[in-house]
Structures are given as C-alpha cells and as structure tokens.
Amino acid sequence: MTDDLSAADWFKSSYSGDKADCVEVAFLADARVGVRDSKDADGPVLVFAPEEWDLLTNVIARGRFDRG
C-alpha cells in the first residue's frame, strides 16, 4: 500500500531548534504515524500502526536505545 503523504503536516520536536539533522513526524489517517528524515523530505517514510508507534515511543522513553 502506498500512501499519499503530500498533504501530511510534518513537524519535528521543539528540542531540535534549528538543527537540520532530525526526524519529522506526521499524524496520518487511521491513527497511523509517519516518520521521515528532515534532510530528505522526498525520501522514504516509515509508517507505523498506532500500536507500533506506542511500543516504539515507550521503549525509547525507557532508554532502550540509549548509547553508552
């Protein structure tokens, strides 16, 4: 399935400031969430189902992907 994301309202975290090396997120139809590289707006997009997005953000918040 290919989504038309041309009208998606992309945003990045306010913590990003003016940095260009960020990810952008868009809330899509059916509660799905799109994620893309801010440096490549026409590049690939990951689309997560609501439960996948919840799982991802929860493990990130718990530090699962912290480097160190």
Could you read off the pLDDT of 44-66 as tens digits, one per residue? 999 999 999 999 999 999 998 88
Q: Is residue 45 part of a domain?
A: yes
SS3 (DSSP) at 20: coil
46 within domain boundaries = yes
Residue appearing with tokens 């290919």: 2
Residues 10-25: tens digit of each pLDDT: 998 887 777 677 899 9
61 occurs within a structural domain: yes
Encode 1-23: b = buried (16+ Cβ within 10 Å), e = exposed.
Answer: eeeeeeebebeeeeeeeeeeebe
Return the sign of the alpha-carbon dihedral for residues 62, 39, 12, 3.
negative
Structural domain harbouring 59: 8-13+20-68
Cβ atoms < 10 Å from Cβ of 62? 9
Q: Is residue 36 part of a domain?
A: yes
Is 3 inside a domain boundary?
A: no
pTM exceeds cut of 0.95: no
